[in-house]
Structure 1
């Protein structure tokens, strides 16, 4: 939890911290990668962040906004199902079921915006209902 707070603060405020100074730079083009549905590049970027900063996607997910949307919502809006499914599978059920900035969970937003039956939406529902 503490890593998540620090990572979100670093991303949101652009804070320079020893060892974390390049986190913003490392995540700079993640929105483009998701929009282009480049699962391979997304995987590389997430691995680099995990290796360099010991952070999982759930630790920095809240600090990233792409056109005022979270990464998974952004993937759904851009029909980027390979990237979207990969992110869904990379996050914990707890992180996926948390309300986002607008008070809606990803699932609620996807249902309200017609994305629940996309491949990413189906992966989300499956992940949330997994035992």
Structure 2
């Protein structure tokens, strides 16, 4: 009986350790994604997205809402920094239904773009075509 209890506790502890390290691994992998978006480095963003997909089986829409760059989403950050290549890639990779959902502040991308005067941005044009 004591062996069963020890084995159960060992398995439970090991699963907690692995679950914690997996989450930390994803966070570590995505640590500099805001810098990549701000720098408009499309190649590096593609590499990072491929690495996260192959290592953790996560696609962009799985982790997009969990990333905030100075309070803004990745697409908003791209628009603010005029990162056209990266912003266009992000818009193309996101499912269109998720591009229409409100973000953390309760505003959709379209409403935020109109409110902040970014209607002439090429990323805003790509978003309009996608939706």
1:89 aligns with 2:92: yes
Shift of 1:116: 2.4
Contact persistence 1:20–1:53 (CA under 8 A): no
Quick one: distance in 2 between partners of 1:19 and 1:72?
A: 26
Give the TM-score, by structure 1 length: 0.82
Asked whether the equivalents of residues 35 and 80 of structure 1 are also in contact (C-alpha less than 8 Å), the reply is: yes
CA RMSD of aligned residues (A): 1.1
Structure showing greater Rg: 2
Q: Which runs of 5+ in 1 are unaligned?
A: 1-15
Q: Quick check: 1:101 aligned with 2:104?
A: yes
Match of 1:71 among 66, 74, 79: 74
Unaligned runs of 5+ in 2: 1-18
Task: Give the structure 2 partner of residue 11 of structure 1.
Answer: none
Bigger helix share? 2
Greater RCO (Cα-Cα under 8 Å, separation 6 or more): 1
- Runs of 4+ displaced beyond 4 Å: none
Alpha-carbon distance between aligned partners in 2 of 1:25 and 1:104, rounded to the nearest angstrom: 28
Structure 1 contact 85–120 (Cα < 8 Å) conserved: yes
